Amino acid sequence: MKKPSEIYKVLSETISVNKARLSFVQMMFLGMLAGMFIGFGAIYAMIVMSGVEPFGIKKLLGGIVFSVGLMMIVIAGAELFTGNVLMTFGVLTKKISFKALVRNWFWVYVFNFLGSIILAWLLLKTYLWGNATSLNEFGATILSIGSSKATLSFSQAFFRGMLCNILVNAAVIVSTASEQVVGKILGILFVISAFVASGFEHSVANMFFLPAAMFVKHAVSPDIASNFANLSWVNSLKNILSVTIGNIVGPIVFIVLPYYFTYLRKH
């Protein structure tokens, strides 16, 4: 296992630099895959949580299985916008430029969104959620989660986004500490399940949850759709934007800056 000082050196001097050097084509494919991987984790979580009580067990199970998304990203290889907030280490240590950071963030974000929407559309076409006149428990969960996210205020989404990405980035750091696959899996599982079970908000996950809910809403009868009047594309985009800002601010303030001043800044 790497020591903390070694972890942040790797993040700053190796991982950030490698990510900054990715070509457009690499960011396109790896960004789309990350969006889909997170979406698969979301599907798994929604299926597992459907019809489960009590509340705590339901959230625990959802959190555990959702973590498969980040496991695939870290182990198989993909580019996730929320994890790439850690590239800020490279900017602070002057290993990469701010321009390179923004380039990576922009394209990875775009392709995370595209991959998420593609998976949401593919899920719609499976009809695993039911049909136009009858939702099953999975379909009801899709609409319920989408509706609850669409009703959040800016501040609610922002602060939940902050707390979420503090944990997501902590999971990336913990997985970086381990040289073995099993260590990476265990580190990701417990930290990611904590954010999901707590009800925090992840922008890339919401790029899947909200379009999936919108697609299902438009596919069901008006009688069913009327129960989710607040679920709209406008509210969905507002949520994703608010959460995105929180996802950036949270780890920079509570992860990157503290560890930079502790381990990387020359005193």
Domain count, the chain: 1
Residue 13 lies in a domain: yes
The pLDDT score that the predictor gives to residue 51 is: 85
- Say what angle helices 181-198 and 154-177 make with each other, to 10 degrees: 160
Q: Which domain holds residue 229?
A: 4-261
pLDDT at 188 over 70: yes
Residue 180 lies in a domain: yes
Q: What is the pTM (predicted TM-score) of this model?
A: 0.96
The pLDDT score that the predictor gives to residue 267 is: 67
Per the listing, tokens 């070694």 go with 6
Residue 19 lies in a domain: yes
**Span 96-114, mean pLDDT?**
98
How large a percentage of the chain has pLDDT more than 70? Answer: 100
Rounded-to-integer distance, Cα 66 and Cα 56, Å: 15
Residue 52 lies in a domain: yes
Residue 181 lies in a domain: yes
Residue 119 lies in a domain: yes
- The per-residue pLDDT for range 228-248, each reduced to its tens digit, is 999 999 999 999 999 999 999
CATH number at residue 98: 1.20.1080.10
- The per-residue pLDDT for range 191-233, each reduced to its tens digit, is 999 999 999 999 999 999 999 999 999 999 999 999 999 999 9
Residue 266 lies in a domain: no
Per the listing, tokens 């599907």 go with 43
3-class DSSP state of 134? strand
13, 95, 207, 216 from 21: Cα distances, Å: 12, 12, 26, 39
